[in-house]
Amino acid sequence: METYRYEHAAMATEFVLTIKNEEEDYANNACQQVFDLVDNLENRLSRFIADSDISRINRMKAGEQMALDFETWEIIRKSIDISALSYGTFDIGVAKHMDVFRAAKQGILTEFEMTNALAKVQEQKQNARLFVDPDKPMIYCVEPGMYFDLGAIGKGYALDQVKKLMLDLEIETYSISAGESTIHFENDHTVLPFWTYPISSKTKQKTLELSNVTVSASGTYFQGNHIFDPRKGSNDFLPEFDRVWVAATDAGYSDAFSTAFFLLSIEEIEQIVAENEKIIWMAYSKDGTLNFVP
């Protein structure tokens, strides 16, 4: 069986699409459509693109309202759901906090100024009032001060959209990876029984056999201690885990919860996994061990 592999830089990472059991021409065509879709989503959802929906939301003033793309509306609503389910540990309203950290790294703000700026930004966020319409793709700003960054869910959401496109193209066996932090596996069992996916701690390694599921990973090894606690608006949280994996039927969920779980206890995580049918399992590495929930 031929396998076709494609790479594409987008969303500040590398997407890799692998297609099996299709004509080469058809796979090439699908690849173009998939990466075009990802680029299109980035243009709408990245806060670093001045014309995106998210950039324009971040510029809204008191009393303003804005029509959204359907996808923007959908991802914000999904983010609200996940925030509620994760006790506020997942939060898209932290763009200004990220800007403050970046300004400090660039030397624009001193450490003293950064600390004060974070306190002000957190206060502004707590006083902000943004409303998302439940019936139509609209957002309303009563009081600005909360600024969106979809970095912790955007790639997962993009994979959910890719899934819809591949369904439309009737391609049944493929995987797509967004920077290896979120990977969706889809397979026709008669073509490929399962995809393999290795996970490891410092001393253990395990190869998983996966079908029709998305797995997201988050950790402190590659990106340093990047876990920011949106509940406090500070980055002094020391994670309990070295690495977290979340498998879900919804790629947005796996992406978002892989970050959110870093800030929760095992008991809280077990409860969320047990109560949420979209999350199939989570795993974490701690002190060299690999552990699964459930």
Partner 1 sequence: MTNSNRRDFLKTSAIFGTGLMIGNPFSITANPLKAADKINIAVVGCGGRGGGMIFSNIPKIPSANLVAVCDIVESRRERAKNNFEQQYGGKVNAYEDFYEMMEKEKLDAIAMATPDFWHMRHAVDALEAGIPVYCEKAMSNNIADARKMAEAQKRTGVLLQIGRQRRSNDRYRFTKEILLEQEQMFGRLTHAIGQWNRSRIWTQRPSKRDNLDLATVQKYGFETIDQVYNWRNYTKLGGGVVSDLGSHQIDIFNWFVDSFPKTVYATGNNSYFGLEQADTMATILEYDTPKGPAIGIYENISNSRAIGVYERFIGDDGAFVISEGKDNQIYRESRVPSKRWQKYIDAGYLANLADMAEYKEKESGDSGIKETAPQISYDIKDMAGMDKVYNMNSHTAHLYNFVESVRGEETLNYDAIESYKSEVCIYKIHEAINAGGGRIEIDPSEYEV
Q: Site for partner 1 (CB under 8 A): which residue of 14, 143, 180, 287? A: 143
Scanning residues 157 to 216, which ones bind partner 1 (CB under 8 A)? 168-170
Of 98-106, 191-199, 245-253, 256-264, which part binds partner 1 (CB under 8 A)?
98-106
Of 106-114, 150-158, 201-209, 220-228, which part binds partner 1 (CB under 8 A)?
106-114
Q: How far apart are CA 184 and CA 174, in angstroms?
A: 8
Of 78-86, 180-188, 200-208, 246-254, which part binds partner 1 (CB under 8 A)?
78-86
Shortest separation between residue 88's beta carbon and partner 1, angstroms: 5
Q: 197, 203, 195: which is closest to 290 by C-alpha?
A: 203
- Is residue 79 part of the contact set for partner 1 (CB under 8 A)? yes
For partner 1, what does the binding mask look like between residues 52 and 71, x meaning CB under 8 A?
xx--x--x---xxxxxxxx-
Scanning residues 243 to 262, which ones bind partner 1 (CB under 8 A)? none
- Is residue 229 part of the contact set for partner 1 (CB under 8 A)? no
| Burial status of residue 203 (CB atoms within 10 A of its CB: 0-12, 13-18, 19 or more) | exposed
**CB closer to partner 1 out of 62 and 206:** 62
Scanning residues 117 to 136, which ones bind partner 1 (CB under 8 A)? 117, 120, 125-135
How many Å is the maximal CA-CA distance in the chain? 61
- Is residue 2 part of the contact set for partner 1 (CB under 8 A)? no
**CB closer to partner 1 out of 143 and 287:** 143
For partner 1, what does the binding mask look like between residues 3 and 42, x meaning CB under 8 A?
----------------------xx-xx--xx--x------
Shortest separation between residue 63's beta carbon and partner 1, angstroms: 6
Of 45-53, 175-183, 221-229, 279-287, which part binds partner 1 (CB under 8 A)?
45-53
Q: How far apart are CA 195 and CA 207, in angstroms?
A: 10
**How many residues of this chain bind partner 1 (CB under 8 A)?**
76
Sign of the alpha-carbon torsion through 269, 270, 271, 272: positive
- Is residue 88 part of the contact set for partner 1 (CB under 8 A)? yes
**CB closer to partner 1 out of 54 and 246:** 54
Long-range contacts of 37-42 (CB under 8 A, 24+ apart): 37/158, 37/161, 37/162, 37/165, 38/8, 38/10, 38/11, 38/158, 38/162, 39/10, 41/71, 41/154, 41/157, 41/158, 41/161, 42/10, 42/11, 42/154, 42/158
